[in-house]
Amino acid sequence: MKVIKVILVVGARPNYMKIAPVYFALKSEQNFHPLIVHTGQHYDNNLSEIFFKELGLPEPDTYLGVGSGTHGEQTSRIMIEFEKVLLNEQPYLVMVAGDVNSTIACALDSIKLHIPVAHLEAGLRSYDRRMPEEVNRVLTDSISDILLTPSLDANENLKKEGVSDERIFFVGNAMIDSLRRYEKLAETSNILERLNISPNNYGLITLHRPSNVDNKKNFEKIITAFEEIEKRIPLIFPIHPRSRKQIKQFSLKSRFENMKNLKFIDPVGYLDFLKLEKNAKLVLTDSGGIQEETTVFGAPCITIRENTERPITVKQGTNQLVGNDTQKIIKAVESILGGYCKERTIPKFWDGKTANRVVNVLKNFSKNKT
């Protein structure tokens, strides 16, 4: 029996929840041998190591340890180190996920060595090339052999770009596989007690996009909104290292310290975050994955961005876009506190069974290539 070696690449926090269910599904198959390569793009324990433990993933088979840097520095270091892994392991296929620098770097290495690439979460588009993630996802889709889409609008995006049907496979949202698998376990988290907050009585914030926190004017507009919102409802802010750095650089610490109803906490693990997310009165975010998770939970989501690569969360979910406009953010929060919440339907194949569909695609691909 031929054993098919598949390298699964993880680099940043959202990758772990997407790759974990695929790893377990491949591991249950006799003829697949999955290996995990961690690039080290996210290397902080709270953004990386704790997620491996909570998701039950084994230690990575290879850890590249590339760390932070500019986009060019980070991407190039990943390519240099990952190429060595490919030459040593000689995998049958490489799977990359999402839209981070690790995604495009490892896809480029693989394709240049004639190793097939599967892109998990393909076809998402914000149509904003100012966002580095958009560049990463467009380029990764253009060179990948297997495009595994999370929603039907992603299929349409790819077809508009001239991608043949033979490369597109609608499998659903792998991140929701993890959510469904660990949702009950997350209920055992005592994070609400530790923070002295009660369900449905606080707002949850995540903020890390360069367009929001690296631009002082934009960051200050968002902070001004928070200053008004915290007068109405307690706010919990698990602060990303990037945001913490920019608060210090822009001398904004005193503005946050003056908000007595806003609580900074360190980034939390996956189970704690699911508990916070599910029980929040509202979520203020600029993250992509959180737009999806809140749609499944039915939690009102206010996305602090002008656009989203996940428009299905606006069309079918609880998500609404407000940009970084102070008044739009405040108005959206006031509407939710006044009792308004968008009705939602859960998109097709966001059912916790995406990983099984992915494995079936890989099985058929391997048969057709032999």
Closest CA to 8 of 76, 110, 81, 87: 110
Q: How far apart are the first and last CA of the chain?
A: 13
Query: Sign of the C-alpha dihedral, residues 123, 126, 127, 128?
Result: negative
Distance in angstroms (rounded) separating the CA atoms of residues 212 and 221: 9
Order across the sheet with 62-63: list the strands: 62-63, 32-38, 4-10, 93-97, 117-120, 146-149, 168-170
Name the residue type at position 152: L
Q: Which residues contact 79 (CB under 8 A, 6 or more apart)?
A: 105, 106, 108, 109
Exactly one of 38, 42, 119, 208 is catalytic; which is it? 208
Order across the sheet with 282-285: list the strands: 262-265, 235-238, 203-206, 282-285, 301-303, 319-321
Q: Which residues contact 201 (CB under 8 A, 6 or more apart)?
A: 233, 234, 281
Distance in angstroms (rounded) separating the CA atoms of residues 38 and 51: 12
Orientation angle between helical segments 288-297 and 270-279, nearest 10 degrees: 60
- Apex CA 289: angle with CA 287 and CA 291, to 5°? 75
Write out the H or E segment, with its range, that includes residue 263.
Answer: strand 262-265
The question of whether 208 is a catalytic residue gets the answer: yes
Catalytically annotated residues: 208
